[in-house]
Structure 1
Amino acid sequence: MEVYLVRHTETVCEKGICYGQSDVGILEPYDAIFKSILNQLPQDAVLYSSPLQRCVILANHILENTKIDSIIEDSRLMEMNFGDWELKSWDAIPQEVLDPWMEDFVNVRVPNGESFVDLNDRILDFLENKLTKGIEKPVIIVAHAGVIRSFLCKINDLPLKDAFQNKVNYGDVIKIEIA
């Protein structure tokens, strides 16, 4: 099965701000980058999206400019929950709280948030329950860098601790094959 992992475009957040599940918008104008993304996607597919607006705006554009029938929003595709750190500057997070997470982001949970394992568990659940049920069309998933890195770790049999080896820029389209 062809799967197209699409990262949302750049957000309105300033550089250095932590925004996992915060529902932030995207920078305008985005027409040129949306057109570039569309040119890399099939015209007919099953379209999934994170319910956060930075993904839904792009998913709606894909829907309106292809033969796709609908968007299936799935909360398992949301970015990592950064809990107490949401919308804070990374520099404002106390080192004694940040350092343990930086040393083991895979297993250490953000205060009142998630670890990367938690995010990965959501993605594995999505894969097992959504992408293994005989879908005959290509699949497009509009999501976030952490979500896409999780998919790529699974597909490439890469340990989660090496997730950041997967470069995922704003507006990237990454095509993978799932058996």
Structure 2
Amino acid sequence: MEIHLIRHTAVENPENLCYGFAEMPLRENYVEDCKALDLGEEFDLVISSPSERCCLVGDHFKFDYTTDERLREMNFGSWEMKKWSEIPEKEINPWYQDFVNVKVPDGESLLDMEVRVSEFWKELTRRKDVSKVLIVTHGGVIRLIIRQILQFPLENLFHIQIDYGRKVIIRVSEDHVFIKGMNI
């Protein structure tokens, strides 16, 4: 199976707002951004995060896709749509010190997110009825899938750059999984 993971195109966030589950609009010229995407061949299956910024990419290419809640970005709870600089230090400092285990107020921890993404990944890679899959999702989800393959510590997750509107290609066989390309 070949799995193409694509991160949605760039968002419009001039105020540097914290967002994950919240709807953040794509840049005004997202259609031009989509034209720059090299999606390649047809896909047997297309799955998208239900976030509008991902669905707009799927709609642009007229994909027949399904959505899966497990493909959402991290839930930043009460921090959603606040400026990072306006999140109270007493809340954000513990998270900065341990973003893996510390749960965002009314949101989730990175471990929580990893559980749901891992569940999705295991379910997908067990499928025998598809050979080429496209997933439209977020940078955090893609990083967690790469972590599933490479098995590095969660603390190192953000050492991987996942560009907007680019894809990661993963090849899955019965006895081997490897990353074929990144930020393509």
Per the normalisation by structure 1, the TM-score is: 0.90
Instruction: Trace 1:47-58 onto structure 2 (pairs within 5 A).
Output: 47-58=46-57
2:146 to 144, 148, 152: 152
- Which runs of 4 or more aligned residues in structure 1 lie more than 6 Å from their structure 2 counterparts after TM superposition? none
Q: CA RMSD in A?
A: 1.4
| Aligned-partner SS, 1:3 | strand
Which whole-Å CA distance do the structure 2 matches of 1:172 and 1:112 have between them?
A: 31
- 2:27 equivalent in structure 1: 27
**Mapped pair 1:114 → 2:113:** no
Which whole-Å CA distance do the structure 2 matches of 1:173 and 1:94 have between them?
A: 35
Identity %: 36
CA deviation vs aligned residue, 1:13-39 (integer Å, no higher than 9, x gap): 2242101100222112123321221x2
2:93 to 99, 121, 125: 99
- 1:72 equivalent in structure 2: 66
Which whole-Å CA distance do the structure 1 matches of 2:166 and 2:152 have between them?
A: 20
**Mapped pair 1:44 → 2:38:** no
Which whole-Å CA distance do the structure 1 matches of 2:114 and 2:98 have between them?
A: 14
Consecutive unaligned residues of structure 2, counting only runs of 5 or more, are 174-184
Which whole-Å CA distance do the structure 1 matches of 2:98 and 2:51 have between them?
A: 26
Which whole-Å CA distance do the structure 2 matches of 1:13 and 1:101 have between them?
A: 22
Comparing 72-81 with 40-49, which one deviates more in the overlay?
A: 40-49
CA deviation vs aligned residue, 1:100-127 (integer Å, no higher than 9, x gap): 1111111110011011111110111101
1:123 to 117, 130, 134: 117
1:86 to 80, 85, 95: 80
CA deviation vs aligned residue, 1:55-83 (integer Å, no higher than 9, x gap): 00001123x2xxx5x20100000010000
Count of matched residue positions in the alignment of Structure 1 and Structure 2: 173
